Amino acid sequence: MLMTVVLFVIGLLLIMFGGDRFVDAAVEISRKLGIPQLVVGATIVSLGTTLPEILVSTTAALQGSSDIAAGNAFGSIICNTALIAAVGQLVRPTKNAEARTFRWRIVYFVLFALFLMADAAVKGRFGRVTGITLLLGFVVYALISIRSAEEEEQEEGIKPDGGFVRPLVTLVVCAALLFEGANLLVDNGILLAQALHVPERVIAVTFIALGTSLPELVTAINALIKGYEDVSLGNIIGANLLNLLLVIGIPAAIRGIPVTPQVASVDIPLGIGVMLLLAVPILVKKRGYRWQGALLLVIYGAYCVIQL
């Protein structure tokens, strides 16, 4: 038990250190390449911080733990939005947000989430066709993001500023630290949770989802502290999209994922709801509010209590 706690703490420390340097490297890359921070947050940063979810869900699916595979993805979406983004809005509400930059990402998320909700309700599983569809959706998302970055670079007059090899290496190293830290945290967190005889799905949507979302949490907090609000917001939105397209898409394409009725009736609708609660005021008013953060935290707390 003592070794489990020690490894848990080591994982947390790796995530904290990796998250701090990850943000700095991502912002430096955006400056070097002349890419807006929001685009970097929604692509490079979110892909790096979503790696733990991708590994956990794919491994779980291959091992036959379908409840963990699906629960981790949707639990992470809820955690990212109702906990991490909520903390961000409480600490430093979004101001002067460029709604056009992430409007299409919100629409993209909702459309794919509705698709998965219908698929789960009708078939009770995410099959290989669904997985391939999600992976194709990721390819389209990546292409649109690149195109969006090029357009904003031209409109905002952002100029590239030299080489980016060094910050790119730093980014990769920090992503590896986040990856390993999350593994240590999740593996040992599961051992602690199993001692309490908690069901697999509950572990997935609470302990595992929280553990694999810690990179997003640490990255978002560090981005806010350093004044990079666009990186924080872009990271959350991008990570949620990748949870749908890759965290579900990869294991579903490999062997399919059976899903419980709770996923279609509770987890996916709640994921859509909290995303809209976060996004709509920002889309309409181009800013966020502390009341959003408070309400999202209440929702997340109630969700966790009900699950446990």
Cα–chain-centroid distance for residue 281?
20
Asked if residue 169 has pLDDT above 90, the reply is no
Nearest to 73 by CA among 252, 221, 198: 252
What are the DSSP calls for 73-119, one per residue?
HHHHHHHIIIIIIHHHHHHS---S--HHHHHHHHHHHHHHHHHHHHH
Distance, first Cα to last Cα, the chain:
22
Q: State residue 153's pLDDT score.
A: 53
At 126, which helix (H) or strand (E)?
strand 125-126
Could you tell me how many residues make up the chain?
308
Please report whether residue 10 resides in a domain: no
Q: Name the residue with higher pLDDT: 11 or 185.
A: 11
Please report whether residue 176 resides in a domain: no
Q: 276 pLDDT band (50/70/90 cuts)?
A: very high
Q: Name the residue with higher pLDDT: 110 or 149.
A: 110
Provide the residue range defining the domain that includes 61.
Answer: 42-155+198-307
> Rounded to 5 degrees, what angle do the CA atoms 186, 208, 202 make?
135
Q: State residue 38's pLDDT score.
A: 61
Q: 302 pLDDT band (50/70/90 cuts)?
A: very high
Percentage with pLDDT > 70 across the chain: 82
Please report whether residue 149 resides in a domain: yes
Asked if residue 156 has pLDDT above 60, the reply is no
The CATH number given to whatever domain includes residue 283 is 1.20.1420.30
Please report whether residue 213 resides in a domain: yes
Q: Name the residue with higher pLDDT: 30 or 169.
A: 169
33-37, 132-136, 177-181, 213-217: least confident range: 33-37
> Rounded to 5 degrees, what angle do the CA atoms 190, 55, 81 make?
75
Please report whether residue 73 resides in a domain: yes
What pTM does this model have?
A: 0.78
Q: State residue 136's pLDDT score.
A: 97
Please report whether residue 35 resides in a domain: no
Q: Name the residue with higher pLDDT: 114 or 149.
A: 114
Asked if residue 97 has pLDDT above 70, the reply is no
- Listed in sequence order, the residues at least 6 apart from 85 whose beta carbon sits closer than 8 Å to its beta carbon are 220, 233, 236, 278, 293, 296
pLDDT digits (tens, 9 = 90+) for 194-208: 777 777 667 777 777
pLDDT digits (tens, 9 = 90+) for 248-265: 999 999 888 888 888 889
Q: 168 pLDDT band (50/70/90 cuts)?
A: confident
In total, how many domains does the chain have? 1
- The per-residue pLDDT of the chain, averaged, comes to 80
Percentage with pLDDT > 90 across the chain: 22
Most confident of 11-20, 50-59, 170-179: 170-179
Asked if residue 281 has pLDDT above 60, the reply is yes
pLDDT digits (tens, 9 = 90+) for 207-249: 777 777 777 777 777 777 777 666 677 778 888 998 999 999 9
Please report whether residue 17 resides in a domain: no
Q: 273 pLDDT band (50/70/90 cuts)?
A: very high
CA gap 15, 49 in Å, rounded: 10
Please report whether residue 247 resides in a domain: yes
- Other beta carbons within 10 Å of 241: 26
